[in-house]
Amino acid sequence: MGAKNMGREKETGSLQVRHRAKPGGCTCEGDRESTDEVYTQKWVVTPRMVYAQPKALVPSRKDVLVLTPWLAPIIWEGTFNIDILNEQFRLQNSTIGLTVFAIKKYVVFVKLFLETAEQHFMVGHKVTYYVFTDRPADVPQVPLGTGRKLVVLTVRNYTRWQDVSMHRMEMISQFSERRFLHEVDYLVCADVDMKFRDHVGVEILSALFGTLHPGFYSSSREAFTYERRPQSQAYIPWDEGDFYYMGAFFGGSVVEVHRLTKACHEAMVKDKANGIEAVWHDESHLNKYLLYHKPTKVLSPEYMWDQKLLGWPSIMKKLRYVAVPKNHQAIRN
């Protein structure tokens, strides 16, 4: 049966792909575990849609880089058609998990986070919010749309904020294995002291994505605040580096997020045993991982911005996920 006939008869299907381990237990993916399992790769055929034709000789944006050297798209406003993407993901019937950590007094930010997520995050798609907290009774009840639910996960707190931040990788890794793999298709990991200000949808979804740090997207690699001490597992030499990624917004398929968070946690455990702590904690380890495990999508700083500190440059057509001005008195109370 030809491909055209298959497309006419079915809207969805699957392709079985077998990964075989090389002799000696190695796979073509380097240090990943060998596998001989069969998995199903989804494909979808979108129905007839009417939209402006893309022009092969007209770039979507002329003022920014829209493709990395390893051919991963960089997501800016004007580089995607959300209607086409929404239809593709609707046919895949994907569910997206969104994790946040609301430890100690940071539970005060959960209400605004959830309310704005309901307005702007993955609208029209199935979403599970996972709120990690040591104060489950203080997590507010926010009205949720159809196909969207809230799961509160109780975890311990830590005295230092650095430890809270670093143990996030451990918790995401453990819960990915325990339940996320069985409940959602994609996982988005975000900071809770933020709010969604504009559309954040399926255009961000990919096997693995990172977000350009708003303070370094125009900087040279020498200016990046990577961990520069060779004693640390997060070490990156001065002559290496693609971008500087923000630790506050990353994600991908649950399998890839599990690999990332597990690797970062194990690296931090090694550092602790050697009496060293990376300069920017889990963010330093995230940058090391994404340097040697290239993300399949990169999000522009539209997806992580602080207007109070950085204003609103003309290059930013939209500010999608932004810092919440801190009311320190409200947090203390």
- The residues annotated as belonging to the active site are 283
Q: Who contacts 205 (Cβ-Cβ below 8 Å, separation ≥6)? A: 89, 94, 96, 186, 251, 252, 297
Using DSSP, state whether 326 is helix, strand or coil.
coil
Q: For the chain, how far is it from start to end, CA to CA, in angstroms? A: 67
| 281, 242 Cβ separation under 8 angstroms | no
Longest Cα separation, the chain: 68
Rounded Cα distance between 202 and 94, Å, is: 10
Element housing 307 (H / E): helix 307-310
Rounded Cα distance between 226 and 223, Å, is: 9
Q: Assign residue 241 a region (left: φ > 0; alpha: ψ between -120 and 50; beta: otherwise).
A: left
Rounded Cα distance between 109 and 247, Å, is: 18
Q: Who contacts 192 (Cβ-Cβ below 8 Å, separation ≥6)? A: 100, 101, 102, 106, 109, 110, 113, 131
Give the position of tokens 């298709």. Answer: 185
Amino acid at 220: S
Rounded Cα distance between 250 and 264, Å, is: 13
